[in-house]
């Protein structure tokens, strides 16, 4: 599986809204999201993924703005993800069918 590292993330059982909705609903990143990222065993893989593929959200203890600055500094060009993570694909298909 392309993104199998996600299965081991400290965020795997937390609501996705902790990592994304703060951008539109509040300015402060939830402490629960910060703590999950801080203690996460797959943070390096998550950061690598986020630097290359994620314009939004809180990934590997970084905001979208922090990742933009890192990309500029090291010359990373963001690209679309290589493919959907299988459980996410199944959730998307279930939403479409509902």
Instruction: List, run by run, the mean pLDDT of 10-residue segments along the chain (98 residues).
Output: 78 88 68 93 93 90 92 91 60 64
**pLDDT reported for residue 45:** 92
Q: Is-above-0.95 flag for pTM?
A: no
Q: What long-range pairs does 18-21 form, CB within 8 A, spacing at least 24?
A: 18/58, 19/57, 19/58, 19/59, 20/56, 20/57, 20/58
Where exactly are the structural domains of the chain?
4-97
The label of the residue with tokens 């890192």 reads 70
């Amino acid at each position: 599986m392309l993104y199998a590292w996600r299965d081991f993330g400290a965020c795997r059982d937390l609501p996705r809204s902790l990592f994304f909705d703060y951008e539109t609903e509040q300015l402060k990143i939830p402490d629960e999201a910060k703590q999950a990222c801080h203690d996460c065993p797959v943070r390096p893989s998550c950061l690598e993924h986020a630097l290359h593929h994620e314009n939004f959200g809180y990934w590997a203890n970084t905001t979208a703005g922090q990742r933009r600055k890192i990309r500029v500094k090291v010359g990373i060009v963001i690209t679309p993800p290589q493919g959907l993570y299988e459980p996410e694909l199944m959730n998307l298909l279930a939403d479409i069918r509902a």
